[in-house]
Amino acid sequence: MHPLWSNIFRKNPAEESLGAFLGTVPVFCEANKKDLVLLETLVHVRHYRSQEIIFEEGDPGSGMFIIRSGRVLIFDRQPDHNEQELALLGPGDFFGETTLTAAIPRIASARTLETTELVSFFRSDLQEIAQKKPMSANRILLGLAKVVSERLIAVSRELRMAKTTLERISSSSAQTE
């Protein structure tokens, strides 16, 4: 069939609706269908070219970004201007969610690696629905809290492991001395 006609009658799987896409993001796991419709009116869909800076370390952080398509590099700028890669994120991943509740500067920089479509959700919009639609805001905040606490658990586990490794190394070096 001619591609023009096929496109009209068949939905491209990549072109699934924004609400359905948002439903797959862990932060919005608690949200119901109505919340997702509301979220569709709150988020902004932004298109980035390849190698475009999304934000720099120290920028005012005001919300989270969800990758709909493309890849994003999270990196740390070293004092000698080298970039240290922290994470490589793909479709469905999200970043910057800590700034959704607290006004803190960005702790790392983010840059696109290819043509990327990002969905951004900002603190000011969350604050607005917290007042207008408290129930929906509650569900979103609960999902956010889940994500953040999962990360906290992972980080503390890693920290504990690092501590024990450090202790083992220091004790073994003390034994050799």
Partner 1 sequence: MAENNHRRNITQKQFLLLFLIFTLSLATGLTLFSSISTITAWARAATGGLFLPILLSLILAFLLEPMVSFFEGENVPRTVSILVIFLLLAGLLALLAVWLIPHLQTTFLSLKADFPRYLARGMEFVNEFQANLQNRFPFVEHYQISTKIRTFSESLFAEILLQTPKSALRLGSLLVLVPIFSFFFLRDGRRMVRTCLNLVPNRYFELAHDLYFTVSYQLANFIRGRILEALIIGIVVTLGLSLTDIRYPLLLGIFAGITNLIPYIGPIIGMVPGFLIAFVDLGMGGQFWWIVILYLLIAQILLDGFILIPILISKFADLHPLWVIIAIIMGGKLYGVVGMIIGVPIASIIKITIIEIRHYRSSFQLPDVPLENPRLM
H helix or E strand, kind and range, residue 71: none
Q: Which residues bind partner 1 (CB under 8 A)?
A: 41, 44, 46, 48, 52-55, 59-60, 62-63, 103, 105, 120, 122-124, 127-128, 130-134
Q: How far is the CB of 137 from partner 1 (least distance, A)?
A: 9
Instruction: Kindly tell me which of 27 and 54 has the beta carbon lying closer to partner 1.
Output: 54
| Nearest-5° Cα angle at 98, 140 to 49 | 95
CA-CA distance, 131 to 124, in Å (whole number)? 11
CA-CA distance, 67 to 92, in Å (whole number)? 5
Instruction: Kindly tell me which of 27 and 136 has the beta carbon lying closer to partner 1.
Output: 136
Instruction: Kindly tell me which of 62 and 98 has the beta carbon lying closer to partner 1.
Output: 62
Q: How far is the CB of 135 from partner 1 (least distance, A)?
A: 10
The residue type found at 116 is T
